Structure 1
Amino acid sequence: MEAVVVGSEVGVALPSFDEWVAARGPALLRLAYTLTGDAADAEDVVQEALSRALPRWSRISSVEDPDAYVRRMVVNAHVSWWRRFRRRESPAPSVTPAGVVEAPGVLFDESRRLWMACQALPEVQRTAVVLRYYEQLEYAEIAALTGVREGSVRSRVSRGLATLRASYPREETDD
């Protein structure tokens, strides 16, 4: 990027919305996918956030961290989507046919089992765990992003991990 004069300071040229989306869109889609658990829903959430960001891009691109700002918009769009979904639909607790026995390596590999355990977490815990370990954000950043106190974020992450450990036990190895 080239240097431009912003007021009396020399700054960096701000990227256009299209350039920014081309560079950061895949990361936003990955975040949304880990929050929703479904590719189509993730695309909808990102589309919603980006459609709200476009008319405000001149203001958003001038903030200190536009990535964090739009990530927050994705999280908010997901929460709004989830609240609407929860009021309309009641998902079935399990789609595994009765009588089917889950055997290691037959129906589910380890990553699929872990993904299912993550999907079973309550929404606020899954969001906190995803932002902490998938997006590698600090607790303070997650608190700012989700609009809750840092202690609540720590609690949600801790409870989410405890639930994951209980539902996804490690196999003991003989050493």
Structure 2
Amino acid sequence: MRPFENVVAEHGATVLRVCRAVVGPDDAEDAWSETFLSALRAYPDLPADANVEAWLVTIAHRRALDVGRANSRRAVPVASPPDRPSSRADPTARFPDLWAALQRLPRKQRMAVAYHHIAGLPFAEIAALLDNSPDAARRAAADGIKTLRKLYPEDETA
């Protein structure tokens, strides 16, 4: 079995991209750390023929959800309440970055887009992560991309 630090070096970037897609850039490093702590504990029992990347992405998905849940339960102190609702509540507001647009997608669409287009996972593996069929995972990713294209109608790279 390979040393665990080699596994971290090889798959660390993919795990970080998955964590960013699930919880956003602010909490991604916490989820990344939690992922590799969990993986380190389980690594000695991992079968030799296991797909290590898929195994780590599954752990990252679960740890990122845990971090997101924990953060959503914490109260955030503010000096005074806002005078008006957040611009995120306004569906016509222009999105300054991709993360804000991804947040607007339904959960399964956001996850399917992130896992397929960011982490590069096949739809069969995405289906297992999202508890649905490969066809449903493919549809969720396609619907998510369609929505993102509506949110960003102009291709700024052209």
Q: TM-score range by the shorter chain?
A: 0.7 to 0.9
Per residue, is there more strand in 1 or in 2?
Answer: 1
Work out the CA distance in 2 between the residues paired with 1:51 and 1:76.
13
Cα separation, 1, equivalents of 2:154 and 2:107: 24
1:76 aligned partner: 62
Query: Segments of 4+ in structure 1 off by > 4 A?
Result: 87-90
Question: What letter matches 1:67 in structure 2?
Answer: E
Aligned positions of 1:19-168 closer than 5 A: 19-38=6-25, 40-60=26-46, 62-88=48-74, 93-94=86-87, 112-168=96-152
Aligned CA distance change for structure 1 residues 151 and 82 (closer, same or farther; 3 Å) = farther
Please report the TM-score for the alignment, with normalisation by the length of structure 2: 0.74
Report how far residue 149 of structure 1 moved.
Answer: 2.1
151-160 vs 51-60, greater mean Cα deviation: 151-160
Count of aligned pairs between the two proteins = 143
Name structure 2 gaps, 5 residues minimum: 77-84
Q: Does the 8 A contact of 1:125 with 1:157 survive in 2?
A: yes
Q: CA deviation at 1:144?
A: 2.1
Q: Aligned in 2, Cα 1:114/1:35: closer, same or farther, shift over 3 Å?
A: same
CA gap 1:21/1:61 in 2 versus in 1, 3 angstroms: farther
Q: What secondary structure is seen at the aligned counterpart in 1 of 2:87? A: coil
Sequence identity percentage: 31
Contact 1:33–1:41 (CA under 8 A) maintained in structure 2 = yes
Separation of aligned partners in 1, 2:132 and 2:59: 15
Return 5+ residue gaps in structure 1 as ranges.
1-13, 96-100, 103-107
| Aligned: 1:16 with 2:22 | no
> What residue number does 1:5 align with?
none
1:31 to partner: Cα distance:
2.3
Matched AA of 1:69: W
Q: Structure 1 pair 47/82, CA: closer, same or farther in 2 (3 Å)?
A: same
Cα separation, 2, equivalents of 1:143 and 1:115: 22
